[in-house]
Structures are given as C-alpha cells and as structure tokens.
Amino acid sequence: MASAPSLSSRLVFAKVSGSFASDENSYFQDCFEELAVPEAERDNPELTVATRDFDGLMRRALNTRTYPDIVAVLLAAEWLYRDWAARAGGPDSWPAAPKHAEWIRLHNNPEYNGWVAWLREEFNAVEPADAVIRTRVAATFTEAVRLERAFFDSAIAAG
C-alpha cells in the first residue's frame, strides 16, 4: 500500500486488506478447525520449499520499494487464483467439501474479479518506461507464476 502512487490506489489496497482480514481469514480458520491443525502449526507452520521461495520473492519485491514489482507479484497470484476458480464453473458444479467450495467462492465472485481486473489495469498503468526496470518487473511476474504453480503442485503431491 505504501508504494502505491495515489490515494485512490491506496484505498483499493486498504479495502482488499480488510477482505483478507475477514472473509479469507475466516476461511483459513475454518479449514484449520476442520483439518485439526494444531495452534502451534497455525502460528508457526513448517514452510515447504515452494512456500519459502514465494515468500522470498514477495520480500524481494517489497524490498525494491517499487510499485510495479510489488503489483507484479500480487497480480500473478490473484489472477491465477481467479482463473483456477473460474474453471470450476458455477456453484452447482463445485466440489461438495466446504473447504474446496469456499475457496472457489472466495476467488470467483464479482468483487474478487473486480479486484483482479483493477490489478491488471494498475499493472499496465504503471509499466516502467525504463527497459531495464521493465525487464526486471516482467521477470518478477514470470517467477511469481512459476512459484505459484510450484506451490500448488507441492500441495497436490503432499495429498
């Protein structure tokens, strides 16, 4: 949020942060309960390689203090989630398990789709003029996509 170039952009991030703190947090807490995840693991989980790598990428993007790098990581993740959730079709075709159906609902609804569309517009609007920076931002986006895929692949492999 702090790197956003305008008040209107900061306000969008503030609104989305509120959503993360409510709906998404409730989703994770409910899943932790359903899966009987111990409190200690909730607060201090053992991270997989894929999770550590993605966390490292996010931290590197934040450390650049440049808005396009930060938006590149967010856009890659959020856009992929939206596309994956959209593949599930309408609610009638969603899995019966609440933990799966709710993930789809969180990532396939008009508000979330609007957030992803806004991120895409924002990313395009702040495209760096400098070719070197533009190349770095593109590499950040590409790496974020690769790491998101690795994260989900590792989760699927773990069962």
Residue 132: pLDDT band (50, 70, 90) is very high
Query: For 91-105, what is each residue's pLDDT tens digit?
Result: 999 999 999 999 999
Domain residue ranges in the chain: 46-158
Q: Which residue is associated with the tokens 């070719």?
A: 131
Q: Which residue intervals of the chain are DSSP H helices?
A: 7-19, 25-34, 39-43, 49-64, 67-86, 98-107, 110-125, 131-158
Taken as a whole, the chain contains a residue count of: 159
Mean pLDDT of 119-124: 97
**If you compute the radius of gyration of the chain from its CA atoms, what whole number of angstroms results?**
17
The amino acid present at 149, given as its one-letter code, is: R
CATH of 46-158, one of 1.20.1260.10, 1.20.910.10, 3.30.70.20, 3.30.465.10: 1.20.910.10
Confidence of residue 5 (pLDDT cuts 50, 70, 90): confident
pLDDT of residue 112 exceeding 90, the answer is yes
Secondary structure (DSSP) of 80-94 = HHHHHHHTT-SGGGS
Q: What is the model's pLDDT at position 24?
A: 86
